[in-house]
Amino acid sequence: MAPASRASLLLGLMIVAVVAPVAIAQFGNIIVSGTVPCSTSTTTVTAATPVFPNATVLLQCGSNVISSAITNINGVFTMLVNPVDSLLTLLNSCKLVIPTPLSTCNTSLPSTGILQSPMQLLSHGLLGGILGVIVNVVPTLFTFVQNLG
């Protein structure tokens, strides 16, 4: 390897060694975003899927609501969340809950019950999340849960 190439490699490694711990130490911005379907049986949201405007979206961990948002006219929501205990806790113990009745977006749908979805890390967001201090989390699949009682 040429001396100039070694020097460039060494400089690059030194920058990574200095910057990476700072980026990880400042890790703290989590963006939760997605599109809420107006349906009881949606597998994935596509351009043809009816959306749920003006729906309340709750980020619920156990029985605690950590954050909330309202969908826009396109059924899209975004929340900026301070770190919970860890990203792993957020992904494994929290879910998105839509308490707004589905009949609000389509009168032929049930007026009781909720939509809910676990969450997943947006696959291309991990490296950007670590280096850019922002992690993107999205719903996996909204499912309809009928109220019991």
What's residue 84's pLDDT? Answer: 61
Question: In total, how many domains does the chain have?
Answer: 1
Flag whether 108 is in a domain: yes
Flag whether 132 is in a domain: yes
What's residue 13's pLDDT? Answer: 54
Is 45's pLDDT higher than 50? yes
Q: Could you give the CA distance from residue 70 to residue 50 in angstroms, rounded to a whole number?
A: 17
Q: Could you give the CA distance from residue 59 to residue 41 in angstroms, rounded to a whole number?
A: 21
Flag whether 55 is in a domain: yes
Query: Which pair of tokens denotes residue 61?
Result: 């961990």
Lowest mean pLDDT of 44-48, 85-89, 95-99, 119-123, name the range: 85-89
Q: Give the tens place of pLDDT for each residue, 59-84.
A: 999 889 999 999 999 999 999 887 76
Flag whether 19 is in a domain: no
Q: Is the pTM of this model over 0.85?
A: no
DSSP state at residue 31: E
104: containing domain: 28-145
Instruction: List 51's β-bridge partners, or say none.
Output: 37
* Between 9 and 141, residue with greater pLDDT: 141
Torsion of CA 67, 35, 137, 117, to 10 degrees: 70
Flag whether 6 is in a domain: no
Q: Taking residues 92-112, what's their average pLDDT?
A: 94
Q: What are phi and psi for residue 98, nearest 5 degrees?
A: -110, 95
DSSP state at residue 37: B
What's residue 26's pLDDT? Answer: 42
What's residue 37's pLDDT? Answer: 94
Q: Could you give the CA distance from residue 120 to residue 68 in angstroms, rounded to a whole number?
A: 18
Helix/strand/coil for 81:
strand
Q: Taking residues 31-42, what's their average pLDDT?
A: 90
Question: Would you tell me how many other CB atoms lie within 10 Å of the CB of residue 71?
Answer: 23
Flag whether 110 is in a domain: yes
Flag whether 3 is in a domain: no
Flag whether 90 is in a domain: yes
Helix/strand/coil for 98:
strand
Is 98's pLDDT higher than 60? yes
Task: Determine the distance from the C-alpha atom of residue 72 to the mean position of all C-alpha atoms in its chain, rounded to a whole number.
Answer: 16
